[in-house]
C-alpha cells in the first residue's frame, strides 16, 4: 500500500517496524503476584538524577499492577532470551512459570535471571500519552554484569545483533 494511503496510526507502526530497538522486560509486584511485559520503548532519561522511562498500554494486563507499583524492574535481554521475550509479549502466557527463572529482588520487585543487566527503579511519574502511559522511574538498584550480546526487535521479529 502506498505510504500516502496509510492512516497515521498505520504509518507510525510501519515506520517503527524499521527502527531496530533493544528488548527489555519490565516487571512489578502486583496484588495477585508478579506481573511483567516485553518492552522496546526503554529509554535513558537523565543521569542526574538517574531516570529511565518506558511506555505501557493502559489496556495491557500488567497495567493495573504497574499503575499502583512503587517500584519496577527493568531487564535488558540477551540474544539467548528470544523465548523469554516472546513469553512476556504473549497475551495470557504464564510469564513467571517454568521455564522462567526469577527471584524476588530489591524492593520486592521480581528480578529475572540470566539477563544482560537489570535495574530497579522507584516510580516518580506516570504521564498520560494517548492509549499508553509513559512511566518514569529513578534507578535505585541494579546489576550491569551479565554477559552476551543484546536481543533486538526489528520488522516484527526478535533478532540478533549483526557485526
Residue 66 and residue 69: Cα distance in Å, rounded? Answer: 5
Q: What is the pLDDT of residue 147?
A: 94
Q: What is the pLDDT of residue 82?
A: 96
Q: What is the pLDDT of residue 6?
A: 67
Residues of the chain where predicted confidence (pLDDT) is lower than 70: 1-6, 163
Which grid coordinates are listed for 98? Answer: 517454568
Question: What is the per-residue pLDDT across 64-91, written as a single tens digit (0 to 9) for each?
Answer: 999 999 999 999 999 999 999 999 999 9
Q: What is the pLDDT of residue 11?
A: 86
End-to-end CA distance of the chain: 32
Residue 95 and residue 6: Cα distance in Å, rounded? Answer: 34
Q: What is the pLDDT of residue 163?
A: 55
Q: What is the pLDDT of residue 2?
A: 59
Amino acid at each position: 500500500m502506498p505510504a500516502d494511503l496509510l492512516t497515521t496510526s498505520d504509518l507510525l507502526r510501519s515506520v517503527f517496524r524499521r527502527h531496530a530497538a533493544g528488548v527489555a522486560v519490565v516487571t512489578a509486584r502486583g496484588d495477585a503476584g508478579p506481573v511483567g511485559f516485553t518492552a522496546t520503548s526503554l529509554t535513558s532519561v537523565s543521569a542526574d538524577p538517574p531516570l529511565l522511562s518506558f511506555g505501557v498500554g493502559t489496556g495491557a494486563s500488567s497495567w493495573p499492577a504497574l499503575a499502583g507499583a512503587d517500584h519496577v524492574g527493568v531487564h535488558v535481554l540477551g540474544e539467548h532470551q528470544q523465548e523469554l521475550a516472546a513469553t512476556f509479549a504473549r497475551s495470557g502466557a504464564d510469564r513467571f512459570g517454568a521455564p522462567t527463572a526469577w527471584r524476588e529482588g530489591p524492593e520486592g520487585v521480581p528480578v529475572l535471571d540470566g539477563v544482560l543487566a537489570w535495574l530497579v527503579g522507584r516510580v516518580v511519574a506516570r504521564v498520560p500519552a494517548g492509549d499508553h502511559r509513559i512511566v518514569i522511574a529513578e534507578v535505585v538498584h541494579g546489576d550491569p554484569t551479565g554477559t552476551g550480546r543484546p536481543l533486538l526487535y526489528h520488522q516484527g521479529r526478535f533478532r540478533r545483533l549483526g557485526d
